[in-house]
Amino acid sequence: MSNNDFNMDLDAILAEFASYSEGIGSKAEPEKKVPRPAAPEKPAYEPPRKSPVQAEAEEWEQAEYYVDVSRLEGLLQQRQKNTGDIRPVRSDKAARPPRQEPEEDFTPHFTPSGKSYTRPEPWKKKEAKKPAAPVNVDRFLSASDREKARGIQSIVEDNQARKMAQDSALRQSRENEDLQQRQVMERQQKSRSPFKTFIACIFALLSLFTLAWIARNVHPDSGTVTAAAVESRMDLPHNLDVYLNNAYADALDGVAYIKKIYTIPESATVAPRPNPAAFGETTDPAVIQAVIAEAAELLDGQQTLWNPNINFYPGTTMQYYRDSSILVLCWKEIYDERCCTMAEIKVAHGSQFRRRIADDSYSSSVQLYASEMAKASNAVVASNADFYAFRTFGVTAYQRQLFRAEPGKLDTCFINSSGDMLFARAGELTDAAQIQQYMIDNDVLFSLSFGPVLVDNGELQYCESYPIGEIDTMYSRAGLGMLGDLHYLLMTVNHTDMRPRANVNEFGRYMYEKGCIKAYNMDGGQTSEIVMNGTPVNYIDFGAERTVSDIIYFASALPESEWAQSVQTEVAP
């Protein structure tokens, strides 16, 4: 507030002050003259007096920010004397009764400054906005444009009507065809003579009798049970020899010994269930030596890779499985400062070396853990295969059928019915016809397409470059090797206890030094895995299995009926 405003509003301020004083004070009393106190003694030092102009300027400057209430009281008394309205003002604050603060009424009628009141903007009621009127698009178009739009709309409607009519006609046509087919079948059934029905019944009875005779007289799991062998194209003379051999063995039991032959049908996706009592785990090399001695007939003079002088990995156990058709020894060792997991396998027949693809269907989108597929297949020991679903090139053969024929980039490993590993280098086979002829000539059951070839005919192979597998990188590796006839080695190098892994040429040298006459590199990394009795035995990258599209595995061919009988004989008193 400026001084000018203060002078202009002085009457209003005095009136307001008088109203407050009237409420506070009591009845008017005659004014008493109070004697003026004596002036204080003059100090020894007196500051210099200010000029009247300077004093007035300072007084106006202080009045700009401060108003002395005592001066207001004096002015009010002077004004009352002049107007004849004598109302004393009490200045005794201690005698004043407590004043009730009035509630502030913020209404439009409250005008403390004498000015009109304006309601703040947020208090105003906002009126709802009316929706905007739809824009007529046509008014922006010329007459020719509107005509074109109507023509396009007409064409669209005609096309929709035509399509609906075609769909209706197609449905009606299909219904008519179904009706005609039902009518033809009904006429054929009515026209079938009683003689034809009788012949069909006789044929069905003969078929049932034939199947019953085969099931009763053919040795279980000899490879000739039912029509599965026909579907898998097995050699009938060979199956007959197997049947006669096992029949003589059963007939001469206790008189002469004849070794039985057990095979697994090629078309079977599940092998015979292994004997749980044949699995074992130990830290004592003497136990493994005893297991090997019991498998002397199966080994047929071949020496095992396992021996008690191996530098076994500290704190690990050795696992094994043995029956009359298969021997598996599994262990970990330190080799060239690497942690190598070994699974040595000896089988009696090539049909025990098998492959299985997820969902039993090529190009299926289903992927499973190797341990899951091994359990479902009754595998004694299993490994990842080539993960064919991860790429679009290479050769994929399964159960004697060729599904993929892109041999130009990768070395291929074919497995025949004898369990032999056959190699075709990248580019040797050029098309599907040549691959199929190769499979027929070599009696191939399935293939592996990863590579490269590590060992061939007992000679170490060196690979300079290869399109997959990061061959020059320190990587977890998995390989398949042959130690002899029906004698195999599954081997992995993993990142166990932060130990180094291997590049492809180092890994090939390890398998060569272990005595492999043939060796083939398989998919590594997180899929570098060996599973025994349904459980991974090696450390897997990142500590978890990765789902894959296929596995290779080795299974027992011994029928469950035989090992179950032997178990009962051992338990009986």
Helix (H) or strand (E) holding 424: strand 421-424
Instruction: Inform me whether the pLDDT recorded for 490 exceeds 70.
Output: yes
Looking at residue 228, what is its pLDDT?
36
- pLDDT-derived band at 150 (thresholds 50, 70, 90) equals confident
Instruction: Pick the closest to residue 393 from 417, 374, 411 (CA basis).
Output: 411
Q: Are 326 and 554 in contact (CB under 8 A)?
A: yes
Task: Give dist(CA 519, CA 488) in Å, integer.
Answer: 10
Instruction: Inform me whether the pLDDT recorded for 118 exceeds 80.
Output: no
Looking at residue 154, what is its pLDDT?
82
Instruction: Inform me whether the pLDDT recorded for 90 exceeds 60.
Output: no
Q: Are 491 and 340 in contact (CB under 8 A)?
A: yes
Looking at residue 465, what is its pLDDT?
95
Structure tokens at 453: 């070839």
Composition of the chain by helix, strand, coil, percent to 5: 40, 20, 40
Looking at residue 70, what is its pLDDT?
58
pLDDT digits (tens, 9 = 90+) for 175-199: 787 787 777 777 766 665 565 566 6
Query: Biggest alpha carbon distance in the chain?
Result: 158
Q: Taking residues 437-465, report their average pLDDT.
A: 96
- pLDDT-derived band at 478 (thresholds 50, 70, 90) equals very high
Task: Give dist(CA 243, CA 250) in Å, integer.
Answer: 11
Task: Give dist(CA 355, CA 450) in Å, integer.
Answer: 15
Task: Give dist(CA 320, CA 332) in Å, integer.
Answer: 13
Name the 3-class secondary structure at 40: coil
Q: Are 480 and 448 in contact (CB under 8 A)?
A: yes
316 vs 243, more confident: 316
- pLDDT-derived band at 91 (thresholds 50, 70, 90) equals very low
Instruction: Pick the closest to residue 545 from 498, 487, 494 (CA basis).
Output: 494
| Percentage of the chain modeled with pLDDT above 90 | 49
Strand order across the beta sheet in which 535-536 lies: 353-357, 550-554, 381-384, 530-532, 535-536
Instruction: Verify cis geometry, omega within 30 degrees of 0, for the bond prior to 220.
Output: no
Looking at residue 167, what is its pLDDT?
76
Burial of 362 from C-beta contacts in 10 A (0-12 / 13-18 / 19+) = middle
Amino acid, single-letter form, for residue 116: S
124 vs 364, more confident: 364
Q: Are 447 and 438 in contact (CB under 8 A)?
A: no
Structure tokens at 511: 């398998």
pLDDT digits (tens, 9 = 90+) for 339-396: 999 999 999 999 999 999 999 999 889 999 999 999 999 999 999 999 999 999 999 9
Instruction: Inform me whether the pLDDT recorded for 471 exceeds 70.
Output: yes
Domain locations in the chain?
1-25+57-90, 206-261, 276-560
Intra-chain end-to-end CA distance of the chain, in Å: 121
Give the number of C-alpha atoms closer than 13 A to the C-alpha of residue 36, restricted to the C-beta side.
Answer: 3
Structure tokens at 307: 């021996």
Give the number of C-alpha atoms closer than 13 A to the C-alpha of residue 359, restricted to the C-beta side.
Answer: 11
Instruction: Pick the closest to residue 323 from 275, 377, 280, 378 (CA basis).
Output: 275
Q: Which of 48-62, 117-131, 475-489 has the lowest mean pLDDT?
A: 117-131
Q: What is the pTM of this model?
A: 0.59
For the chain, the average pLDDT equals: 78
Give the number of C-alpha atoms closer than 13 A to the C-alpha of residue 355, restricted to the C-beta side.
Answer: 30
Instruction: Pick the closest to residue 537 from 527, 545, 529 (CA basis).
Output: 529
